[in-house]
Copies of this chain bind each other. A is one copy, B any other.
Amino acid sequence: MTSYLHSTEAYSQSELLSDISPEGQADIFKAGHRNSYNAGEILFHEGDQAFRCYFVQSGRIKVSILHEEGKEAILRYVLPGEFMAAIAVFRGKTYPATASAVGPVSAISWDRTTMITLMHLYPPLAVNMLRVVVDRLDEVQKRYLELSAEQVAQRIARALLRMMKTSGRKTDEGIVIDFRLSRQDLADYTGTTLFSVSRVLSKWEKMGHIKSGRERIVITDAHALVAVTENS
C-alpha cells in the first residue's frame, strides 16, 4: 500500500517549502491552525475574499469554477502535501475558484497576516510561490490544448492516467483511484457530460481496461488507456 503523507516528515515534499530548513518548516506549520472538513463541505467559494490559505494533510480537495446555468469545470484536485490558495491570500484578492472536500479532509490553514509575516521570515517562500504558479499555468495551458484538440475518450483516458499517478493505490484487482470520483466529476474534469463518460467507461469495462462501480474506478490495463491517449 502506498500513501503520501504518513507523518509530518512528508511536509518537506511540498514544492512551496523547498530551500527552507526543517526547523523553519516546523515553525511555519506551528503558526497555522488545524482544520477538519467533512465530505462535500466547502472551504471557500469563488469570489469570496481570500482570508485563509491551506495545506492539505489528508483527503482530497476539488477546485472548480462555475459557469452560469450550473456547468462546472474542475481545475484540479489538491493532494495531501500540497498548498492551496496561498497566492490569492498573498495578493489579498478574492478566491478565483471554489474548493470543496471530496472526502473527509484534514488541513492546516493560515490567515493573511500570519502568512505575510512568514513570507518575510522565510524569503524562499516567495520564489517557490512563483515556481508553483508557473507550473500550474503550464498545466492549465496543456489541458486547454487537450480540450480544444482531443476527443472525449482521449481526454478521459488522460484524466484517469493522471489520477492513477497521483492517487493510485495498488490492489489485487488493479490500481484503484483512491477517492470518490463520480461520472459527473470526471465529466466536469474533462469538459464533457455525465452520459458520455458513462458510455466510454462502460465500453472500457467490457474491453477489460477498467473495473468500475459507484464513484469508484479501478484501472486494470493502464497500457490500453495510454494507447487511447496516443491514438488520434
Contacts and interface: CB of A to CB of B under 8 A. Distances in A.
Interface stretch (A32-40, A65-73, A157-165, A166-174): A65-73
Interface stretch (A143-151, A177-185, A199-207): A143-151
Nearest to A93: B134
Interface string A107-143: 0000000000000000000110111011011101111
A71 to B, nearest CB: 4
A96 B137 CA distance: 10
13 contacts: A65-B141, A67-B146, A67-B150, A69-B232, A71-B145, A71-B149, A73-B144, A73-B145, A75-B144, A126-B127, A126-B130, A133-B134, A147-B191
A20 interface: no
A224 interface: no
Interface string A73-101: 10100000000000100110000110000
Total copies of the chain:
2
A126 B88 CA distance: 16
Contacts of A134: 87, 91, 133
Interface in A25-75: 65, 67-69, 71, 73, 75
A141 B141 contact: no
Contacts of A149: 67, 71, 73
A148 B147 contact: yes
Listed residue (A67, A97, A144) with the most chain B CB atoms within 10 angstroms of its CB: A144
Given A67-B145, A73-B148, 9 more contacts: A67-B146, A67-B150, A71-B149, A73-B145, A75-B144, A96-B137, A126-B127, A129-B130, A140-B141
Nearest to A66: B145
A90 to B, nearest CB: 8
Given A68-B232, A137-B137, A144 B145 contact: no
A142 B138 CA distance: 15
A141 B91 contact: no
Contacts of A68: 232
B141 A96 contact: yes
